[in-house]
Amino acid sequence: AQSVSQHNHHVILSEAASLELGCNYSYGGTVNLFWYVQYPGQHLQLLLKYFSGDPLVKGIKGFEAEFIKSKFSFNLRKPSVQWSDTAEYFCAVIPSGGYNKLIFGAGTRLAVHP
Amino acid sequence: KAGVTQTPRYLIKTRGQQVTLSCSPISGHRSVSWYQQTPGQGLQFLFEYFSETQRNKGNFPGRFSGRQFSNSRSEMNVSTLELGDSALYLCASSPPSGSSYNEQFFGPGTRLTVL
């Protein structure tokens, strides 16, 4: 079955530290990849997406992600986190032909301390 | 543009009852998807509707059903509620595009508690 693995369930960082959240998926065909974020008390919102083309994609709020096809990975990065980045981050995939069926990872809770 | 709205926001039911949740997508969006979010299972896809037709379905029992109306509003129904159905139910809508998938915009969710 198709699945998404997020390696870290909880991450604690100090402001200005660099962030990398791992995401791996299990699907051999073409995939469409997403990172969503859920800030405390807010809706899920899209950080960035990859459909095709340049494997390094930039999203909102200084986030970026790199698609490495050979590693089935789509890791999220940010060079310098802020307290306002405290949130839960979800990696998700839609396999080709999956219409809008998002398959989510378990999520990573990020806490940034001032 | 108004976002995705879901009603009610909170609901308390007892085992064996049934419940109907409503979702109004962003104006112009024709695809509506439903997800269940629980601490144990995370975010799981329930089903997707597009132009009043169910286009995709997740691995949930037949007690979970949905429909979409001609104005793209969608409802989901859960019959014979079980304790394990307690969850946050999220609705998401997507704009029409040339491809079969697109960014999904999520609503605030309906928090269902089954006692």
Q: How far is B101 from chain A (nearest CA, A)?
A: 5
Q: Residue A97 has what pLDDT?
A: 75
Give B97's contacts (C-beta < 8 A, 6+ positions apart): none
CB contact under 8 A, A105 and B42: yes
Q: What is the pLDDT of residues A32-81, one digit of tens each?
A: 999 999 999 899 999 999 988 999 999 999 999 999 999 999 999 999 99
Mean pLDDT score, B70-94: 97
Q: Is the pLDDT confidence value at B7 over 90?
A: yes
CB contact under 8 A, A100 and B56: yes
Q: What is the pLDDT of residues B40-71, one digit of tens each?
A: 899 999 999 999 999 989 999 999 999 999 99
CB contact under 8 A, A99 and B48: yes
| Cα A48 from Cα B95, distance rounded (Å) | 16
Q: Residue B98 has what pLDDT?
A: 58
Q: Which tokens is A17 given?
A: 């530290």
Distances, alpha carbon A5 to alpha carbons A87, B59, B97, in Å = 18, 19, 29
Q: Residue B2 has what pLDDT?
A: 82
- Single-letter amino acid, residue B19: V
Q: What is the pLDDT of residues A77-113, one digit of tens each?
A: 999 999 999 999 999 999 877 778 899 999 999 999 9
- SS3 label, residue A52: coil
Q: Residue B99 has what pLDDT?
A: 56
| Cα B2 from Cα B41, distance rounded (Å) | 30
Q: What percent of chain B has pLDDT over 70?
A: 95
Choose between A1 and B26: higher pLDDT. Answer: B26
Mean pLDDT score, B27-43: 94
